[in-house]
Amino acid sequence: MVFSSLLFVFLFLVASYSIYLLCGKTINAKNVILLVSSLIFYAWGGPALVSLLCLMAFICWAGAIIIDNAERKKLRLALCWATVAVCIAILIIFKYTVFAITNVYALFNIDSPIPSIALPIGISFYTFQLISYVIDVYRSEVKAQRKYWHLLLYASLFHQCIAGPIVRYADVENDIENRVMKREEISRGITRFAFGLAKKAVLANGCGAIVDAFFTNSDTGALMTAGEISALPALAVVIGVFTYMLQLYLDFSAYSDMAIGMGLMIGFHYKENFNYPYVATSVTDFWRRWHISLSTFFRDYVYIPLGGNRVTVPRHIINMFVVWALTGFWHGASWNYLFWGLYWFVFLVLEKYLIKPKKNPRGLIRIGRTALTLVIVFFASMLFKFEDLSSLGQAFLNLFGRNGFTDAATNLVLKNNMFFIIFASIVSTPIVPAVAALASKTRATAAVSKVVGALIPAALVVVSAICLAGNSYNPFLYFQF
């Protein structure tokens, strides 16, 4: 079950929230309903995999209590390492075993069947949440949760369990036991959810259709082979990768919007995960705006413990290398994701030690730096899109016009979708909220702005439902991670 489905929006969400509201005023009863709803939601994608989620939550629950009770610092550290190591081992087994075996077989020319291991949906996200909880208990930043089912609720909350944002236990510890529903937050939550739903159903899916028009074989429905991609003109690659950039942002930020909105409806407060990354003026600025919960996780639990930037230059570069190699592999068991992480590492090192861009540029300098950052993001998106490195190479060579600049098919796709691409690009910037904020401040338009603001969520849900009708399965891109 995915957020962007009629089943979820009009049945699961309505039913679960209705039961939640009717179950009484006690927080325990509400938490039980929320936990049951979350486990049912997660089990929809594979009932057997719920046991893995419950097991990992139990390991971290028990490990954190033992750590909290231990008095000697060395013992606490050893217990923390052991608990985290078990979580990482489970993640490696399910996510990277097939990748490792495939590469070993290829290296030694072994002709043997490769085992099939199903990747549990959202395992990367809830594993990192549980790891952050255990480490925070070790650091005495939070107290160990004594109730197992409360920790399981934290790990399995259906709002954000599958694709984030990665929520720290400290951020929702009070919400789990003492949250209060407020009318103003319910209203903001509904609006945020509606905007996220439309962003996914209308814009992200629309961009995905354009991407498929360029990079998917219409007969097989699979990504084009390297040979097929080699025949594309330059403009086809440019438009295809650019719309994939839009799709990535709109799709993933839509999920975060919906998660934050659903949390607000019942009193949970999740932190922002995106801040319009495509207006960033540098690579560093981009990563302060993109997937904020992941970048802050690696900063707080890998980068700073390694020494951060308070070390020698060579050591600092090594620290950055480790962080970005891990960031790349976190996204998937494929070499292109590792190269994607190292690609960002190279540009971050260049910015840190060679370019050293000034903060808060203005005017034409800001526009130029944003344009340059988008070019860097463009090539990063190519790395992210093509798991097959041969296909990546062919797409890259096409940019230099070996098949010409364009052709009739490319021109037709562009002509049919030009205004949609422009609109999706505008929505990916702060222009729309800036205009809305300006309208609400003007006395002449404030009343109209309030009325329109009240009607927009309902209109967006209707439009989204129309777009989703007949579209039985349209998962979010980050489900695979």
Catalytic site positions: 331
- Kindly write down the DSSP assignment for every residue of 247-310, as one continuous string: HHHHHHHHHHHHHHHHHHHTT--PPP--S-GGG-SSHHHHHHHSSHHHHHHHIIIIITTTTTTS
C-alpha to C-alpha distances, 147 to 52, 131, 209, 279, nearest whole angstrom: 19, 17, 46, 44
Query: How far is 96 from 127, CA to CA, in rounded Å?
Result: 14
Helix, strand, or coil (residue 111)? coil
How far, in whole angstroms, is CA 413 from its chain's centroid?
Answer: 28
Helix, strand, or coil (residue 166)? coil
Query: How far is 286 from 230, CA to CA, in rounded Å?
Result: 31
Beta-carbon-side half-sphere exposure of residue 319 (alpha carbons within 13 Å) = 19
Query: How far is 268 from 86, CA to CA, in rounded Å?
Result: 29
Contact (CB, 8 A) for 267 and 17: no
Query: How far is 151 from 443, CA to CA, in rounded Å?
Result: 48
Task: Using alpha carbons only, give the angle 351, 357, 363 rounded to the nearest 5 degrees.
Answer: 140
Contact (CB, 8 A) for 85 and 77: no
Contact (CB, 8 A) for 160 and 258: no
- The identity of residue 72, as a single letter, is R
Please list the residues that pair with 223 across neighbouring strands: 216
Query: How far is 176 from 151, CA to CA, in rounded Å?
Result: 9
